[in-house]
Amino acid sequence: MDDYQKIEKIGEGTYGVVFLAKHKRTDETVALKKIRLENEDEGVPSTAIREITILKELEHKNIVGLKDVILQENRLHLVFEFLSMDLKKYIDSIPKGKKMDMKLVKSYFHQILDGLIFCHSRRIIHRDLKPQNLLLDNKGTIKIADFGLARAFGIPIRPYTHEVVTLWYRAPEVLLGSQKYSTPVDIWSVACIFAEMITKTPLFHGDSEIDQLFRIFRTLGTPIDEQWPGVSSLPDYKCTFPNWKDNILHKILPDLEKDGLNLLKDMLIYDPQKRISAKSAINHPYLAKC
């Protein structure tokens, strides 16, 4: 830690406190994440160390680089490249009545998928993708932050501040209590983010797990075993769920061209095994011209 000078606290997230810091020798600005550990007395779990070691190898233009891992006196600090803007802040900054340029939407969408392909090919899942952890530079590049941290440290239902972890980007298999989930959970999140870039409003903005599920069901129809084998056996599935029948996605995104709507639907398929992969999504006709 002696190499870094903390400048100011810039955030408090799911995993701990984030500081803006400078490397004393090189003067490089970095984001310093002090990881909050469940049992500080016991030190850093070996599983976390293993996961973090893998993350250091994730070098890709669309993934925020983990520059260094500092373990001192049972405290863990992760040093990341620093980017001051995120997609949520950017969307919020667009004036009322104005939309995000579709060329930029497509470019960001393509880049996010590019970063996902890289990680998914290494069997690393993000699990907590949302506009807040998609960081932007001023050259049109978007980068995924906090990759793999959900696995290394577990996703709490609440972060350590008073805010609730957002459920808006969470896949239905996770909301229904499935223990066996994989890379398709990230595809669902990216679909929600893609729609939000177009409308400037979260696609499914529930305020509880059940409200979140019902908002999804109202939009895409209530899932049944015929379309998603085994859904009725998931821990939190109830046979008393209301039976919404129609998919009304086209009404929410009336201006989205047909190819874009088809891709979005493929990313929001209920059955995770049938949901499109990042690799197939990036090669979809909608993104062919990116």
Radius of gyration of the chain, Cα coordinates, nearest whole angstrom: 20
Alpha-carbon gap, residue 1 to 232, rounded angstroms: 51
Q: Please pick, among 128, 146, 186, 266, the residue that the annotation labels catalytic.
A: 128
Residue 239 exposure: Cα atoms within 13 Å on the Cβ side:
2
Alpha-carbon distances of 36 from 69, 159, 275, rounded to whole Å? 14, 10, 34
Residue 86 annotated in active site: no
Cα–chain center distance at 142: 13
- Spatial neighbors of 5 by CB under 8 A, at least 6 apart, are 21, 22, 24
**Residue 33 labeled ligand binder:** yes
Which of 190, 160, 150, 182 minimizes the C-alpha distance to 51?
150
| Annotated binding-site ranges for ATP | 33
| Annotated binding-site ranges | 33
- Annotated catalytic residues are 128
